[in-house]
Structure 1
Amino acid sequence: MHFNEGGTWALLYLASEWIIRLVMVIVVPVRRSPDAAKGWLLLAFFLPWPALVLYILIGRPSYPSWRIERVLQLPGLLRGALARTAPFSLPVAGSSVVVETRELVEKLGRFPALSGNQVELLPDYDKSINALIADIDRAEKHVHLLYFIFSDDRIGQKVMEALARAVTRGVTCRVLIDAVGSRPWGRNVIAQLTASGVSAHVVLPIKLRWHPARVDLRNHRKIAVIDGRVGYTGSQNIVASDFKPGIVNRELVARTQGPVTTQLQAVFAADWFLETQETLLIEDITPEQVSAGPVQAQVLPSGPDYPGSEIESLIVTLIYGAYKRVVMTTPYFIPDASLLKALETAALRGVDVHIVVSRVADHRLVNLAQRSYYDELLDAGVKIHLFGEGLLHAKSFTFDGGIGIVGSSNVDIRSFILNSEVSLIVYDQETTARLYAEQESCFASSELLDLSVWRVRPAVVKLCENLARLISPLL
């Protein structure tokens, strides 16, 4: 055989492509959703070698062995939080939707529902940052921050200056920032924080090595805890609202007081241990909690460190249990088959279902993919609102006026399976009413899609949307 002949090399290349296709058929469907498997196999069929390279880089939703070993120690770390909040734990009894939801969330995320909380919703971008800085300036013992994006722009500088002031008062400050989310600013932020005496670390740093970990498994959480008494979580990062040129973000943050803040503290402590191997005992970083208000609340952490798609399981269950109204706001909407069916079924049985997404697109391919779902949802009776005043980055859900969710999780496969996320679930009529009022304000700034008008968009646009949908499980 003469290997310098073009025909021989072409034959070998063709054979290699078919070997890749056959191997992917065997490997890809293992422990993977049908939608994700379909996306990978389509990519492998048309582009075998690029699919193989991409699969090696991001095809397996798992962490390296050293991290998995640390994850196994998390239940022990969380026991302190459970003991600390035991007096506020709510009994599991009865068959109401709220009681069943509390039990489900506890099984998914290990934290029970707690009484005695106060939850304040902060939809104003600057006021939310100013409230956080004011709480940092009041800190006496500990300040803990965990953010996907932490920049060194004017917003980041204000927060870093507050942390530096806290350190000079003898307050211990710890900060975690995601390596990819904060990549443009991470080196400067870590250097400035370290120089001022803050203990700061990058989460999931990207390192080139044999058998690399997936670079797209990110910590997307947004958590701040001050003295173990005040907590923040939601969609807002430590960055200016207009950090993307031509786009202004609209966010939503929940400020908590009471025992549920201990659960946010525990999530931070778990992530701190995973990155640094330093154990922060809840007893040392959280005071004895007292009742701060009438709200029942619960924290649900989710991601590859947990056994299943926790937040998606909760959302799908609540949609099926809804009898009056379901509203969700999200910047990215790429549902899998189970969520899509739940939304369509709820609308068909008379539930008033609203989805608020942004007209503005900061990720073109994701936007095209999510648009491909609008037709069938509208046809089922789901109301879709296109938010027109900037990028609606807030992630919120209300169900029948009694259950509300605020957190970091988008409604897409990445947030459901790949990213580490955190959600605050509240069981309170008044708080949920305030959350729904915020969602209604988004309705007022949105265009309600009409099915007949939507269907007359250009054929080439429909084609692009459908092509993007084919790979949407990979986005």
Structure 2
Amino acid sequence: MADPHPGVGAWLLILDWAIRILALLWIPMRTTPGAARSWMLLVAFVPLLGLPAYLLLGHPWLSRERVARQRMASQVIRDEQAPLAHLRWTPVGDGAEVEMAPLIERLGDFMPTHGNHVELLDDYDGALRRLVGDIDGARQRVHLLYYLMFDDAVGDAVAAALVRAAGRGVQCRLLLDAVGAKRGLRRYRTRLQAAGVEVHDMLPGGLRWRRSGRMDLRNHRKVAVIDNRAAYVGSQNLAEAGFIPGFPNCELVARVQGPAVAHLEAVFASDWFIETGERLEVTPTLPLHDADIATQLLPSGPAYPFENARDTVNALIHLARRRLVLATPYFVPDDATLSALRIAALSGVDTQLILSSSNNQRLTAWAQESYYDQLLPAGVKIALSRPRFLHAKHLSVDDGIALIGSINLDIRSFALNAEIGMLCYDRDVVARIRGIERHYLADAEHLDAAAWARRPLWRRSREGIARLADAML
């Protein structure tokens, strides 16, 4: 039978190749080579789906307004630190901190400060009780910035504490990611606002997404600031440990006091300004007399000119000389991070990677397994922690530097999410983290390079296919 529309097939063929050529000219200019290869592969197989998907999700763009506001916030942070030289900590000697401190300040705006106290909280429920207790003790203000808030017992407890604080005349502000905290926003926003709590969602979607940026960019930070007295930073969200059925979380949170409190409040104020346009005053916090831990903040995200979380992690890996331990739930590294880990191990650094045996993101779990073949033969030790889902994110370098926060060792965390990390330049903090790491390792499955190489071919194929989507995970 003759084709009733003989010209349609020709036009579809022309459109098909036009999309491929346009993608070849456009995509490599706007993404990293690794990401460009993944997107080009998708476009080559399904052009009519691949190119629209790339236009929506392929480039981590933010609105000009948000980028400009981040630039303004960074300048304010730098300017307001200038007269506070008495708070600055200056590293001495020839350790890695001598190189890291000025690098972090250039990448993330914050100078290192002395006179801080850092308490490490790895008891999930205990950390949340401490947070609610601090909110109940607040007298001036409570500022909470979180990726996820669930409509469960933890969400109920935090919301009730905020209502009580607002009832005492405490200024309470709550910033929640529009996607991660969707359930919490839906359940608590009206009630909290009626009680006098200011609530805003971050990076909203729907009809407002063009004022934000790429649709899947997220604010992944977890920060709480109570008066000038205490602040929290780490991996823990405002949800019960088992908010994802079958994957009860294991977390690490740092409760800090001292000048770091004001710096964490500056991070909150920056995000508040980016979302609302309102500038909040941040009062410097004095050093503690009975503590002298040096800390330094690293906020990161697509609003910064560089992938500063990735650069920081890679610099720490390269500066390690004896012992390097990295704990993360999601491990989908770029080529630079993968190379840094191999070089560290081959240079004789005792390099330990601690991942979770269980994983709530199956495609990510398959993709990360594909990297083990490149790490195990180089001498990188890989342990799969169990039985809980290891959601904590931290690393320790030699005996003197630790990084704690919300940063995962994956491309999404490095390039797409707004994250927060706190560096501690202190031997005692590192020793305490090493104790926590030993606890992870005691119950872990330790991978053997030879045994891993014998895994079935179908698993290798599955891992390789999942890895093709590394830039999209």
User: In the comparison of the two structures, how many residue pairs are matched?
Assistant: 471
User: Counterpart amino acid of 1:448?
Assistant: H
Shift of residue 361 of structure 1?
1.7
Name the CA shift for 1:166/1:84 in 2 (closer, same or farther; >3 Å).
Answer: farther
Shift of residue 202 of structure 1?
0.6
Counterpart Cα distance in 2 of 1:249 and 1:163:
24
- Provide the residue aligned with 1:279 in structure 2: 279
- Provide the residue aligned with 1:355 in structure 2: 353
Q: How does 1:224-243 map to 2 (within 5 A)?
A: 224-243=224-243
User: Counterpart amino acid of 1:302?
Assistant: S
Counterpart Cα distance in 1 of 2:262 and 2:299:
13
User: Counterpart amino acid of 2:428?
Assistant: E
Normalised TM-score (structure 1): 0.95
1:20-66 deviation line (CA, Å, top 9, x unaligned): 11111111112422211111111111121211121121112111122
1:178-221 deviation line (CA, Å, top 9, x unaligned): 01111233221212221221101111110336967311111000
Counterpart Cα distance in 2 of 1:274 and 1:214:
16
Q: Determine if the alignment matches structure 1 residue 435 to structure 2 residue 425.
A: no
User: Counterpart amino acid of 1:443?
Assistant: L
User: Counterpart amino acid of 1:130?
Assistant: R
- Provide the residue aligned with 2:154 in structure 1: 155
Q: How does 1:18-33 map to 2 (within 5 A)?
A: 18-33=17-32
Unaligned runs of 5+ in 1: none
| Secondary structure in 2 matching 1:185 | helix
- Provide the residue aligned with 2:192 in structure 1: 193
- Provide the residue aligned with 1:373 in structure 2: 371
1:407 to 405, 408, 420: 405
User: Counterpart amino acid of 1:70?
Assistant: R
User: Counterpart amino acid of 2:151?
Assistant: D
- Provide the residue aligned with 1:15 in structure 2: 14
Q: Determine if the alignment matches structure 1 residue 320 to structure 2 residue 318.
A: yes
Name the CA shift for 1:83/1:137 in 2 (closer, same or farther; >3 Å).
Answer: farther
Greater Cα offset, 44-53 or 460-469: 44-53
Normalised TM-score (structure 2): 0.96
Counterpart Cα distance in 1 of 2:197 and 2:135:
13
Please tell me whether the aligned partners of residues 117 and 288 of structure 2 are also in contact (alpha carbons under 8 angstroms): no
1:108-163 deviation line (CA, Å, top 9, x unaligned): 00101110000110001000000101111111101000000012210011111111
- Provide the residue aligned with 1:72 in structure 2: 71
| Secondary structure in 1 matching 2:440 | helix
- Provide the residue aligned with 1:474 in structure 2: 472
Q: Percent identity?
A: 43
Counterpart Cα distance in 2 of 1:142 and 1:41:
49
Name the CA shift for 1:425/1:3 in 2 (closer, same or farther; >3 Å).
Answer: farther
| Secondary structure in 1 matching 2:207 | coil
Counterpart Cα distance in 2 of 1:422 and 1:458:
39
Please tell me whether the aligned partners of residues 38 and 469 of structure 2 are also in contact (alpha carbons under 8 angstroms): yes
Counterpart Cα distance in 2 of 1:291 and 1:336:
43
User: Counterpart amino acid of 1:55?
Assistant: Y
Name the CA shift for 1:93/1:17 in 2 (closer, same or farther; >3 Å).
Answer: farther
Counterpart Cα distance in 1 of 2:10 and 2:93:
67
Shift of residue 90 of structure 1?
2.2
User: Counterpart amino acid of 2:298?
Assistant: L
| Secondary structure in 2 matching 1:120 | strand
Counterpart Cα distance in 1 of 2:29 and 2:282:
38
Q: Determine if the alignment matches structure 1 residue 217 to structure 2 residue 217.
A: yes
- Provide the residue aligned with 2:338 in structure 1: 340
RMSD of aligned residue pairs (Cα, Å): 1.8
- Provide the residue aligned with 1:464 in structure 2: 462
- Provide the residue aligned with 1:130 in structure 2: 129
Q: Determine if the alignment matches structure 1 residue 301 to structure 2 residue 264.
A: no
| Secondary structure in 1 matching 2:218 | coil
Counterpart Cα distance in 2 of 1:11 and 1:388:
57
User: Counterpart amino acid of 1:51?
Assistant: G
Please tell me whether the aligned partners of residues 407 and 424 of structure 1 are also in contact (alpha carbons under 8 angstroms): yes
Counterpart Cα distance in 1 of 2:467 and 2:419:
24
User: Counterpart amino acid of 1:255?
Assistant: R
Shift of residue 401 of structure 1?
1.6
Counterpart Cα distance in 1 of 2:104 and 2:75:
19
Greater Cα offset, 334-343 or 311-320: 311-320
User: Counterpart amino acid of 2:85?
Assistant: A
Counterpart Cα distance in 1 of 2:3 and 2:76:
60
Please tell me whether the aligned partners of residues 57 and 215 of structure 1 are also in contact (alpha carbons under 8 angstroms): yes
Greater Cα offset, 80-89 or 319-328: 80-89
| Secondary structure in 2 matching 1:136 | helix
- Provide the residue aligned with 1:56 in structure 2: 55
Please tell me whether the aligned partners of residues 81 and 263 of structure 1 are also in contact (alpha carbons under 8 angstroms): no
Shift of residue 85 of structure 1?
4.5
Shift of residue 11 of structure 1?
2.4
Greater Cα offset, 377-386 or 453-462: 453-462
- Provide the residue aligned with 2:388 in structure 1: 390
Name the CA shift for 1:289/1:165 in 2 (closer, same or farther; >3 Å).
Answer: farther
| Secondary structure in 2 matching 1:457 | coil
1:420-471 deviation line (CA, Å, top 9, x unaligned): 0000000000011101111111001110001122122221111010011111
Shift of residue 80 of structure 1?
6.3
Name the CA shift for 1:84/1:219 in 2 (closer, same or farther; >3 Å).
Answer: farther
Name the CA shift for 1:61/1:358 in 2 (closer, same or farther; >3 Å).
Answer: same
| Secondary structure in 2 matching 1:28 | helix
Name the CA shift for 1:205/1:414 in 2 (closer, same or farther; >3 Å).
Answer: same
Counterpart Cα distance in 2 of 1:69 and 1:27:
25
Name the CA shift for 1:92/1:293 in 2 (closer, same or farther; >3 Å).
Answer: closer
User: Counterpart amino acid of 1:52?
Assistant: L
Shift of residue 167 of structure 1?
0.8
| Secondary structure in 2 matching 1:438 | helix
User: Counterpart amino acid of 1:228?
Assistant: N
1:330-370 deviation line (CA, Å, top 9, x unaligned): 00000111110110111111111111111112111111100
Unaligned runs of 5+ in 2: none
Q: Determine if the alignment matches structure 1 residue 34 to structure 2 residue 19.
A: no
Please tell me whether the aligned partners of residues 229 and 289 of structure 1 are also in contact (alpha carbons under 8 angstroms): no
Please tell me whether the aligned partners of residues 150 and 189 of structure 1 are also in contact (alpha carbons under 8 angstroms): no
Name the CA shift for 1:209/1:297 in 2 (closer, same or farther; >3 Å).
Answer: closer
